[in-house]
Structure 1
Amino acid sequence: MFPRLSYLSTDRQSTVQQMGEWIGGSWRWRLKWRRRLSTREQDQETQLRSTIQNVQVRKEADDRWWWRYEKDGEYTVKSAYKMLTTTEEGDEIKCLKRCWNSTIPLKICAFSWLSVLGRTPCKVNLLKRNIITQEADAKCSFCAEIAENEDHLLLWCDFSGKIWNKNLAWWEIKYVMARSCKDAFLQHSWAGRYQKGWQVIWYATIWALWSTQNRRIFEAKQVSIDEVFHMVQYNSYYWIKSKIEGWTYSFADWCNAPSRCRIVKVPNQRLIELEQGEMI
C-alpha cells in the first residue's frame, strides 16, 4: 500500500515489537525514516498511521505471519489460487491500461497516464516536492489565479476550457465537462460511434495545452487559442495518418468533418473506414 514509505523505512526487517513501545498500557508506534519526508510522503505517512492505528497489538502475543485470505491466518495453496484467479481489476487500473494507445506516440501516452494519476510536473506537484518553495509561484501559467494542478490546467482553466469548447463544436458533440482528468479521459474513451477518433483528441488536447504551458514558462511565448486548437487538429490527424494503414482522408477532410473520418476495427482485424451513418 505504501511502497515509497517502505523504501524509506529504516525498520524494513524489524518485527512489530521493534517498531514501537508500550506507554502506560498503550502501544505507540515509532516509525523511523532514512531522511526527512517530502510533503507527499508526509501525507502518505498520515494515511499509514491512520491505517495501523486500528491494529490491536497484544502484549502477551508473539509476532507471526498472518495470511489474510484464510480465517485462521494460515497460508494454503488453495486460498492463494482463489485469490489470484478471482481478483477483479478496479476502475482505476482499467482506466490506466486504456492510457496506452498504440496510435499515440509513447511520450504522450505517458503524459496522459501521469495526468490521470495526478503526477505530472505541474506547479502544485512541484510545490509538494519543494522544487517550488512559494505558494504564489504555483499559480496557473494561463490564468495566474488558481493553483495549477492537472485538473485545473488541462480542464478547468478558462484558457483550457475554450480549447475544449472548440473541440466540441468541431466534432458536434455536447457533454458536461468532467471534474477530473481521470473522468475526462474515460469520457473520451467511451464516446460511442466516435470513440477511436475522439479518444485521440484527448491526447492531442492535453499535449497541446502542456506544450503551450511550457512555452509560456521557458520561452515567454504567448500562444493564442486558435494556435493551440490548430495544434490539436494537426497532431491528431498526423498521429492517426502515420499509424493507421489505408487511412486516406486529407487534413482538410479531418478539419472540416472529423466524425466522417472514423476508424473501426472489424472482426477479421482489418481496419476499414466508415462514412458517418454506415453500418458494419
Structure 2
Amino acid sequence: MGDWIGSSWVWGLQWRRHLFDWENEDVQALQHIIHQKGPKRDTTDGILWKNAVAVSYPTKDITDKLSESLVPSLPKSVASIVWQKFIPPRAKLIVWLANKERLKTGDLLVEKGIIPPQDANCPFCGMFLESNSHILFVCRFSWSAWMEIINWWGLSAPLHNQPSKFSIQWLGLVNRRSHKDIWTLTLGCVFWSLWYERNQIKFKRKTPNLHNFVLSLKIRIGIWAKEMMGSDICAPNVIHNGY
C-alpha cells in the first residue's frame, strides 16, 4: 500500500484489473485525499472522537463521517420516505437513488465516458439529454404520468421538479394520517415504474405509450397496496382535497 521514502510516507496503490478511462478521475480524487494523510514516524495513529465518551468507535459512524463531504445527504423528512415500510424492497433503491439524483442517466454515463453523447437522449421523448430530473419530471411523458395519478385521486397542485423537494410536496397533498401510507406507496411506485419503463424502452426497444403506461401504473399501485398493506386501495375520490 505504500513505503517510506526518507522521512515521508508515499502511498502506492495497486489494482487487480485494468481501470476504465472513466475510473481514472475517481482514482486521482482518491490519491489527492490520501496523499494529504499518512503514517508518521515515531507517532501512533488513532481516532479522536470529540464530545463523546466511548470505549470503541462504531465503524459505520466513521465511514459516514468520511464520506459525508462526497455524497450529499438527504433531508431527514425525505430519508423517512425512502425507507418507508410500505414501499417494496425492489423499489427502495430506485427511490433512494432518484432522491439523491444518482440514477445512471445519460448525462452521467456520458460524463464517465461510458456512452457517446448521441446515445444519451431521453428514451421517452428522444429530444433532450437524459438527466435525473428530466427522466423523472421534466419530460412531457413523465410529467403527464404524475399529473394523471394526481388527477386520479381528485387532487391538483404545482410541484417541484427536483426529486427531494418534489417528494416532500407530494406527501403534503394528503392531510389525513390514514391516507399517508398509500400516498407514500404511490410515490415510490411512480418513481420505480418510470425507471422500469425507461429501461424497457432503452434496452428492449419498447415503444413509449403514455396511455398504456398510466393504466399499468394504476394496476401496479393496487397490486403493491395488496402486497404491502394487505388491503385494496380505497376509491380515489376518498382522498379528494386531502381528506
Q: Which has the higher contact order (CA 8 A, sep 6+)?
A: 2
3-state SS of paired residue (1:201): helix
3-state SS of paired residue (1:173): coil
- 2:154 matches 1:165: no
From 175, 189, 197, the counterpart of 2:158 = 175
Please state how far the C-alpha of 1:155 moved relative to its aligned partner.
1.8
Alignment CA distance shift 1:76-1:39 (3 Å):
farther
- 2:147 matches 1:136: no
Larger radius of gyration: 1
Please state how far the C-alpha of 1:241 moved relative to its aligned partner.
3.0
Residue in structure 1 matched with residue 82 of structure 2 by the alignment: 99
Please state how far the C-alpha of 1:105 moved relative to its aligned partner.
2.8
| Counterpart mapping for 1:22-33 below 5 A | 31-33=12-14
Please state how far the C-alpha of 1:39 moved relative to its aligned partner.
5.9
User: Normalization by structure 1: what TM-score?
Assistant: 0.61
Alignment CA distance shift 1:189-1:258 (3 Å):
same
Contact 2:159–2:166 at 8 Å: present in 1 too?
no
Alignment CA distance shift 1:276-1:206 (3 Å):
closer
Residue in structure 1 matched with residue 48 of structure 2 by the alignment: 68
Residue in structure 1 matched with residue 127 of structure 2 by the alignment: 145
Letter in 2 for 1:210: W
Please state how far the C-alpha of 1:156 moved relative to its aligned partner.
1.7
Alignment CA distance shift 1:42-1:215 (3 Å):
same
Contact 1:104–1:203 at 8 Å: present in 2 too?
yes
Q: How many aligned residue pairs are there?
A: 228
Residue in structure 2 matched with residue 110 of structure 1 by the alignment: 93
Please state how far the C-alpha of 1:141 moved relative to its aligned partner.
0.8
- 2:139 matches 1:154: no
Q: State which drifts further: 120-129 or 138-147.
A: 120-129
CA distance in 2, matches of 1:214, 1:123: 12
Please state how far the C-alpha of 1:149 moved relative to its aligned partner.
2.9
User: Normalization by structure 2: what TM-score?
Assistant: 0.69
Alignment CA distance shift 1:217-1:170 (3 Å):
same
Please state how far the C-alpha of 1:96 moved relative to its aligned partner.
4.2
Letter in 2 for 1:207: W
Residue in structure 1 matched with residue 106 of structure 2 by the alignment: 123
Q: Where does structure 2 lack aligned partners over 5 or more consecutive residues?
A: none
Residue in structure 2 matched with residue 270 of structure 1 by the alignment: none
RMSD: 4.1
Q: Where does structure 1 lack aligned partners over 5 or more consecutive residues?
A: 1-10, 261-274
Residue in structure 2 matched with residue 268 of structure 1 by the alignment: none
Identity level (%)? 19
Residue in structure 2 matched with residue 241 of structure 1 by the alignment: 226
3-state SS of paired residue (1:92): coil
Contact 2:87–2:184 at 8 Å: present in 1 too?
no
Residue in structure 2 matched with residue 212 of structure 1 by the alignment: 197
